[in-house]
Amino acid sequence: MNIGIIGAGPIGTTLSQHLFNTGHDVKIADARSIKKLEGKDFKGKAVTFEEVIQNIDVLIISLPFHVVPTIKEKLSQLDDNTIIVDTTNYYPFRDGNIQPIEDGKVESVWIAEQIEKPVIKAFNNLLARTLQTITSADGSKMAMAISGDNQSHKDVIAEMINAIGIDVVDNGDLNNSWRHQPGSPAYCTELNKSQLERALQLADKAAAPIHRDEVMNHFRPDMQHKDIVAMNRKVYDADTL
């Protein structure tokens, strides 16, 4: 497939490598300038924003949550058949308080409303380091949740995820994607497929933002990856899965 990626942070660049290595035609853009891609560790072709949305089957958005609405006008040029994947997560300390989200609106539903395009939620509940290694905390095969309203689009993305060595759990429609938002047991806790299925069922929408903020209060920049996962599993009630 022809895949465009907007965003060259840890998630975007890691996905470019996996997708390129599994035979896709990948191009990647920075929302600000092609010059921002210099020195980034990615695979595929570096292009401008205008080029990244042309002649593609799938567009992956991997930007800070609050930035996504700023690209709405440019995304209006996308072909209507293009599958859009939203990888973003809302963090108030970075994105500012977005009142609809604070009031309970599902993050990716808000994103879809802002860009006026349907999206599939995927690649949001694994840390970048986890995506690089693709093994769960207990060494078994990693699993990822996806949500969306178009089943055929979800099937395409699920096949793409399976090809890079990750199991997929279909979490239902986009309005249900809160079950793998930050603070939930499914979020960045490195689970295999059966564990992830249970985690999605155990999610508590009211508790998730509280747990999300608790983790951020304990986070330190010098923490090792395994310590971040262990903290998430403890705070998000994923230890017993």
Position 169 scores a pLDDT of 98
In this structure, is the dihedral angle defined by the CA atoms of residues 173, 103, 128 and 238, taken in order, positive or negative?
negative
Q: What is the pLDDT along the chain (241 residues), one digit of tens a residue?
A: 999 999 999 999 999 999 999 999 999 999 898 988 998 999 999 999 999 999 999 999 999 999 999 999 999 999 989 999 999 999 999 999 999 999 999 999 999 999 999 999 999 999 999 999 887 666 778 999 999 999 999 999 999 999 999 999 999 999 999 999 999 999 999 999 999 999 999 999 999 999 999 999 999 989 999 999 999 999 999 988 8
Position 36 scores a pLDDT of 87
CB 101 within 8 A of CB 110: yes
Which CATH fold would you assign to the domain 63-235? Rossmann fold (3.40.50)
Position 19 scores a pLDDT of 98
Position 46 scores a pLDDT of 96
Provide CB contacts within 8 A for 89, sequence distance 6+. Answer: 65, 107, 124, 181, 182
Rounded CA separation 204/114 (Å):
25
Element (H, E) at 167: strand 167-170
Structure tokens that stand for 13 in this block: 């660049």
